[in-house]
């Protein structure tokens, strides 16, 4: 079994109240506080071996998440995307087509879920310099974006399952699919 490394910051676990809050908009992206939080998140996701992390997962209920997709122990087939801070993100459009895929979560370390997500999304967010970004994401990157956005809205991947039959222990997942 693969084990999630411990992060330098405590990661909120399923059941913690911060994971059920709608996170607040970031008003001053250039503030020292915001920039330090982004740095903490980058370190936390790297140390934990994730492909993304949302601010609520490190106990800050603000609308920031990081996507940093790359192959690792938890996601050996992940595509490459450099670590990107996304502030005040939103989905502008999404495809009608959805695909189920396996997701794990640093806040739910012992489980994986077979979660339906939109195949293609068009999004808007602000980068850490405060510049508005409009992007289209597909496949695994679109899945990460939707997963992390759920965290900002007070949800986890478990809330998106269509059936509890789509939930599996991480030990079983690694034996069957990794």
Residue 1 has pLDDT above 50, yes or no: no
Residue 3 has pLDDT above 50, yes or no: no
- Give the global pTM: 0.93
pLDDT in tens, 104-118: 999 999 999 999 999
Q: Is residue 105 annotated as involved in ligand binding?
A: yes
Residue 2 has pLDDT above 80, yes or no: no
Q: Where are the domains of the chain?
A: 17-177
- Determine phi and psi for 17, rounding to 5 degrees: -60, -35
| Cα–Cα dist 19/61, whole Å | 8
Residue 142 has pLDDT above 90, yes or no: yes
Task: Judge whether 33 counts as a catalytic residue.
Answer: no
Q: Nearest to residue 26, comparing CAs of 68, 67, 54?
A: 54
Least confident of 6-10, 20-24, 99-103, 148-152: 6-10
pLDDT of residue 4: 40
pLDDT of residue 9: 64
Q: Give me the catalytic one of 90, 97, 148, 170.
A: 148
Q: What CATH class is the domain 17-177?
A: alpha beta
Q: Is residue 68 annotated as involved in ligand binding?
A: no
Q: Which residues contact 132 (CB under 8 A, 6 or more apart)?
A: 124, 125, 126
| Cα–Cα dist 162/9, whole Å | 32
Residue 8 has a CB neighbour count (10 Å cut-off) of: 12
């Amino acid at each position: 079994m693969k084990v999630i490394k411990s992060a330098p910051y405590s990661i909120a676990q399923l059941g913690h109240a911060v994971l059920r809050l709608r996170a607040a908009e970031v008003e001053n992206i250039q503030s020292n506080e915001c920039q330090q939080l982004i740095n903490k998140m980058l370190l936390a996701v790297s140390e934990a071996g994730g492909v993304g992390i949302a601010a609520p997962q490190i106990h800050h209920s603000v609308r920031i998440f990081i996507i940093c997709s790359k192959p690792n122990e938890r996601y050996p087939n992940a595509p490459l995307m450099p670590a990107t801070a996304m502030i005040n993100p939103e989905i502008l459009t999404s495809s009608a087509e959805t695909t189920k895929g396996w997701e794990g979560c640093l806040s739910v370390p012992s489980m994986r879920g077979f979660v339906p997500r939109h195949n293609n999304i068009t999004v808007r967010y602000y980068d850490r310099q405060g510049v508005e970004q409009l992007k289209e994401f597909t496949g695994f990157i679109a899945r990460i974006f939707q997963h992390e956005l759920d965290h900002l809205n007070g949800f986890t991947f478990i809330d998106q399952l269509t059936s509890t039959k789509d939930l599996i222990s991480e030990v079983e997942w690694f034996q069957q699919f990794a």
